[in-house]
Amino acid sequence: MNVTAPPSAPWADTLLQSFAQAGYVHAEPAILQPADPFLDLSGEDIRKSLYLTSDASGEELCLRPDLTIPVARDYLASGRAGAPAGFSYLGPVFRYRWGKPSEFLQAGIESFGRQDRAAADAEMLALALEAAAAFGLNNVEIRTGDVALFTALIDALNLYPVWRRRLIKDFNRKVSLTDDIERLTLATGPGRNEYEGVLAALAGSDRKAALALVTDLMSIAGTTNVGGRTVEEIADRFLEQSTLKAGALPRDAVSIIKRFLVISGDPDDAVAQLRALAADAKLDITAAIDLLESRVGFMAARGIDTRRTRFSTSFGRGLDYYTGFEFELHHTGNGSEPLVAGGRYDGLMTQLGSATPIPAVGFSIWVDALVKAGKSGSAA
């Protein structure tokens, strides 16, 4: 079934008009996109649900599974790249959803180039709430988090690079993160294996050094992969093993991480708890906490009742490119799946080819979920 937005749909007119009034230019990226950015940068759920094809030259392509990366690519290819610019969209996206239609409508906003990060974050949440209101939903559950806080914490703990990389990678995957913390707490062992010399050489190295060593060794051996694994994958595996053999994740670090991950509730209370944790553990994460506090202030200035906002340090959205503020709007009392979701992804532009970092934040609207929630709210 072809999914389109009926021109006469009141919500479509209201939504697009509100985006335009807020200064966001309508964008219409191509439906067929290069697959690599989605395979490399999206979360596992999206990677598993792609509809892939290839052209005559062998380039791997896909039907766009969302619109953030396509809008970002078009922005980088334009003459406005690097300058502040905002875009809105409403159109079909394509991904396998296990029993749900694979073609569905997505709307949203992407904001690029703004240096006032806290204010831009608050604007995204305010516009997302306005979008929900366009569907008749004025009392939604607001869930927020900030992956930058977790990154700042891990950096301040001065862990081995492999531990840092693994913990941050698994931040959005709660079960994996919990398992990693427990495993790294217990990890150590005198056992030997055939790669003992390589592991000893890598002890304490960073990823760049590990990759260089493994590349040299495989070049000498005259091979580029082993058992289907790439040089990068083999280097990562060796680096992890060498770190685990060097000793367990320090118990004081484990205690701090666990204390951090249970902080939740009112954003103002969370700020106070985070400052107390930083002081007790003598960790410099002040800049990340200050940004959170500033964002909460801008949210209040936008008319958002922050007491209705649930903040959690363990909240994550499962997309690998998020770097800061994250949020979801849910139907009150009903729904594990979000109606609107978004956040900050400052690292995406350089990963897509920008020579310099470009701040970026935005959100996507699950139109079918919002229409359904709006109808059920009206019926109630």
Query: Distance (Å, rounded) from C-alpha 136 to C-alpha 142?
Result: 16
pLDDT digits (tens, 9 = 90+) for 42-53: 767 777 889 999
pLDDT at 197: 47
**Nearest CA to 315 among 115, 183, 177, 166?**
177
Instruction: Please give the average per-residue pLDDT across 85-111, as a whole number.
Output: 93
Mean pLDDT of 137-148: 92
Instruction: Please state, rounded to an integer, the average pLDDT across all residues of the chain.
Output: 83
pTM score: 0.81
Please say whether the beta carbons of 122 and 304 come within 8 A. Answer: yes
Q: Count of alpha carbons within 13 Å of 372, Cβ hemisphere only?
A: 13
Q: Which residues contact 101 (CB under 8 A, 6 or more apart)?
A: 1, 3, 368
The answer on pLDDT for 239 being more than 70 is no
Q: Judging by DSSP bridges, how do beta strands 140-146 and 264-265 pair with one another?
A: unpaired
Domain with CATH 3.30.930.10 in the chain: 10-153+258-379
| Residue-level pLDDT at 13 | 82
As a whole-number percent, the residues of the chain with pLDDT over 70 amount to: 75
- Per-residue pLDDT tens digits for 320-371: 788 999 999 998 776 678 899 999 999 999 999 999 999 999 999 999 888 8
**Percent of the chain residues topping a pLDDT of 90:** 53
The SS3 assignment for 262 reads coil
Q: Is the pLDDT of residue 166 over 80?
A: no
Of the ranges 22-36, 186-200, 255-269, 281-295, which one carries the lowest mean pLDDT score?
Answer: 186-200
Q: Residue 76 pLDDT more than 80? A: yes
- How many CB atoms lie under 10 A from the CB of residue 137? 21
Tens-digit pLDDT profile for residues 271-309: 999 999 999 999 999 999 999 999 999 999 999 999 889
pLDDT given at position 188: 47
| Burial (Cβ within 10 Å: 0-12, 13-18, ≥19) of residue 24 | buried
Average pLDDT of the segment spanning 241-253: 67
pLDDT of residue 138: 86
Range name among 175-179, 221-225, 325-329, 348-352 with the lowest pLDDT average = 221-225
Tell me: domain 10-153+258-379, CATH 4.10.91.20, correct?
no
Instruction: Give the tens place of pLDDT for each residue, 25-42.
Output: 999 999 999 999 988 877
pLDDT above 70: residue 7: no
With 0-12 CB in 10 A as exposed, 13-18 as middle and 19+ as buried, what is 348? buried
- Residue 110, strand partner residues: 87, 362
| pLDDT over 90 (residue 83) | yes
Q: Is 60 helix (H, G, I), strand (E, B) or coil?
A: strand
| 221 pLDDT above the threshold of 60 | no
* Predicted pLDDT of residue 41: 78
What confidence score (pLDDT) does residue 167 get? 84
State the average pLDDT over residues 186-191: 48
